[in-house]
Structure 1
Amino acid sequence: MATGIISVGTHLTGYETVSQLLLALAGIVWLVLAADFVSRRLWNHQRWQSEANTPGALTAVAATTVLGTRLSLLGWHVAATTLLAVAAVVWPVLLVMVMRHWNRRMPGAVFLVCVSTEGLAVLAATLAHAGVGDWPAVAALVCFFLGLLLYPVAFAHFDRAEIWRGSGDQWVMTGALAISTLAGSKLAAWPHWTGIPHTVLRAATVVLLAMNLLSYVILVVAELIRIRPGYSVRRWATVFPLGMTAVAALSTGTTLHVAWLGTLGRALLFVAGAVWVLVVAELVATRRPARPESSPA
């Protein structure tokens, strides 16, 4: 998810070589994780089911839609449509399993119910803009509003103390708003919707972007007040919202013809890229074997 959205952002800002390298990396990781997902489903069902009951399972859907979106932007619409179909089949199964096991004090991953749903909207809207047909636009609209309904439900189950003590996935709170903004901006740019629907979508996109940026600032302040050093796998859940916020600003700026949003999006993309590099460096450092202590002479 994190690498895929940075690839989308670098594509939108003209860094095509970097974007395609990140896409290749994201594709390799997706294939490895997809193979692991299927193998556990077939040969280790008990473990698969226990993991599928947690919100993190919905990253399978979200990551698939992000990868599909980037492939569509590359012109690989058949592959992107296939990934949309795969995500659409897996999404309701995992969504029901996850929501059946919610409690009242959930980590930031709880917002993945919104992220995965809006991911379907983004990919479908991207395919509609690519000329695949009108049906993806309708499907995107349905997923967009369903994702908006799921956000407050997720927020009601979110442990707000995670904003100050979370180890990374608290950022999904703003990532869900960012991907909703991106979906809204793509739907608002659909040329076949005019009049009231167009006005409503534009207004919803503006409100969502404002909420996205506000929550972004709140989480940055929380990170500065209570610094949480060291590597955690949940920090990848920080990179994704950073990158998604940048892409949301870029897309909204293009749709609404607001130049300063493009400038903001580029700046936020630089931040997201820097954090991606930092998390990769910390990951490598944790995997590096410790040097053996030399014995005293």
Structure 2
Amino acid sequence: MSVPVPRGPAVATPPAARVPRRRERGVAGLLLAGPFALLLAGTVLAPVLYALYLSLFTERLAGLGFDGPRQVFTAMGNYAAVLGDRAFHDSLGNVALFALVHIPVMLGAALLLALLLDSAVVRLRQLWSLAVFLPHVVPVVIGGLVWAYLYSPGIGPLAAVLPFDPLSDVGVLPSVVNMATWQWTGYNMVIFYTALQAVPREVVEAARADGAGPVRVALSVKVPMVRPTAFVALVFTVIGSLQLFTEPLVLRGFTGSVTSTWTPSLYVYEAAFIAGDHGRAAAASVLLAVVCAALSALVMRLSARRSG
């Protein structure tokens, strides 16, 4: 029979020895976070601060104009000019209509496809997932050119099948919505499908044991449990909708219905690279960023209320 050997009391680390360890951990954390902080400052913070700086100035000719334009401080003059510009108002209205149609259609289709893949209805899930995700891999410019060809009257097959002209003033908005939905449905489907894989199987089996059918299980069990993921996807989709640029820019070469200021991003592009008014372009960019931040905060607050 072994006799237990008495042990002495545990030696506590003196407080003076804890301070160097905490300092070492703090230094190590700063060294590890340093590269990311430098990259964030160089690629995000510096351009934002420079845009704020540019938005406060404008270029004007001094005297007879022989010396060229000079940079003049205008304070909030550029912001007032953008807010009073009818073209900027129309661009916001276009992206608002785009978002009202695109967001529910695209997210609804992505969620429906994810639910079908998660159920036992669809076979060859990996093949179907790849087929739906492939449009997102295609560059937006190339996809836009393909759709522009399909929409073009006389050469495109869709122009002869659709009951309206997809490149007209009325039909260009549904055309852009279709292009963006085709591009992003597969991406969001993968996000929803990944979230559905994390739903506890025992909860699903319990619902089926209680007599719930596939539709009831999907609507009452699976969809509520992936609601946080849906709100995150909604935030990114809202931001992407406000930054709509490539699709209308491609269609602009095929129709006159898309003007140079059809969206806020095109408005900024026209002001900076065509009109050469960098102050107005910077002010419009800042206002667009404020709108994106406000809508994102609104969606996140609604998400927090629903989760609570």
Query: What interval of TM-score do these two structures reach, taking the shorter chain for normalisation?
Result: under 0.3
Q: Give the TM-score taking structure 1 as reference length.
A: 0.25
Larger gyration radius, structure 1 or structure 2? 2
Larger helix fraction of residues: 1
